[in-house]
Chain A
Amino acid sequence: MAFSVERPIEALRQSLVVDPDAPPSSALVLKLRRRDSLSLEEEKSLEALIPPPGNVSRTTDIVSEGHRPTSSALLVDGFAARYKVLDHGGRQITAVHVPGDFVDLHSLLLKEMDHGVVALTDCRVSRVPHDRLRHLTETHPHLARLFWLSTLIDGSIHREWLVNMGRRTAQAHMANFFCEIYCLLEIVWLAPDFEFFFPITQNDLADILGLSLVHVNRTLQELRAADLLEWRGGKLKILNWNALRKIAEFDGTYLQLRAEPR
């Protein structure tokens, strides 16, 4: 695919895989564009901001707890998770990140990491030095507000996860998570026709939902038996979006899916 057009993003289409030739800023641009329009100059500045990505293999930390990063990591391809490990060895995943997410944008201000971020699948990650991010926020206040918005949306996702953990049944919780991950991937054009790559393990899913592995398997079987979704060979397909949404009581308002001046 050629990316010589003025706005490289216009050459992208909904696809199951991240185009390896697309600029590493592409998913980030799509993510911000869903919430507000970007000027050509802003898109160019983002393209110039993001260095070429490096590889991080599955189960490796992208950022570790206790570190003081001097750069923020943009996920270009793959899935990553924020997590905490408990004293008895159990792990709770507190957020799942998709391409276009800055997994530790907050480290620019928070400094010391109070949790780790691990690659759930093989990932490509661009590390943007904090001084360059700081400079961009000074020269581009609108982009600074959109980065702020991204961290606010991370917060609203946490709120939804709290409700899921505290009050929803396992089935509604799992359905809610799948609805959310679909929406996040659709934003960055990685979920054509309600289908997307999601090659995480059932252990990961158990740590995401805070449920036992067996309960997760069982709940997955219930959703499959009701013809709501298929999950085979690392590929997940939502077969009945409306029914899944209903079980989940899913309302995407918290994801801020409308483009408006911010």
Chain B
Amino acid sequence: MPRFFFDISDGSDIVDDIGAVFPTLSDARSEAIRTLTEIASERLPANGPSMELSIDVLDQHRMLLLRVRLAFSSQPEI
């Protein structure tokens, strides 16, 4: 099974050097989505107006296979 690497952009710059093995890219995508929602539940700003979270899924040569992105914004009541 291929190994995928998941670089998470959420303001810190830790590069994934462990990776994880999944049967297909579609399974890796589901994993990226689950991770995104877990991180969102902790990291979305309580006070800030907006934030973007994204995860790049890379192969073992660090070639970009896909990117999942979540955009959050909070607007004052009109």
**A positions within 8 Å CB-CB of B:** 169-170, 202, 211-215, 217-218, 220-222, 225
Give the docked Cα–Cα distance between A202 and B55 (Å): 19
**Does A212 lie within 8 Å of B34, measured CB to CB?**
yes
Q: Are B14 and A212 in contact (CB under 8 A)?
A: no
| Residues A213 and B42 in contact in the complex (CB < 8 Å), given A202-B18, A218-B8, A225-B14 | no
Q: Which listed residue, B12, B16, B31, touches A212 by the CB 8 Å rule? A: B31
Query: B20 and A170: CB pair below 8 A?
Result: no
A211 to B32, CA, bound (A): 12
User: Once bound together, how far apart are the Cα atoms of A212 and B55, in whole Å?
Assistant: 13
Q: Does B39 have its Cβ within 8 Å of any Cβ on chain A? A: yes
27 contacts between A and B (CB under 8 A): A169-B42, A170-B42, A202-B18, A211-B38, A212-B34, A212-B35, A212-B38, A213-B20, A214-B6, A214-B16, A214-B20, A214-B31, A214-B32, A214-B34, A215-B34, A215-B38, A217-B6, A217-B16, A218-B8, A218-B35, A218-B39, A220-B18, A221-B14, A221-B16, A221-B18, A222-B14, A225-B14
Interface of A is mostly: helix
Q: Which of B8, B14, B20, B31 meets A202, CB within 8 Å? A: B20
Beyond contacts A170-B38, A215-B35: 19 other A-B pairs, Cβ-Cβ < 8 A, are: A169-B42, A211-B38, A212-B31, A212-B34, A212-B35, A213-B20, A213-B31, A214-B6, A214-B16, A214-B32, A214-B35, A214-B55, A218-B6, A218-B8, A218-B14, A218-B16, A218-B35, A218-B39, A222-B12
A212 to chain B, nearest CB (A): 4
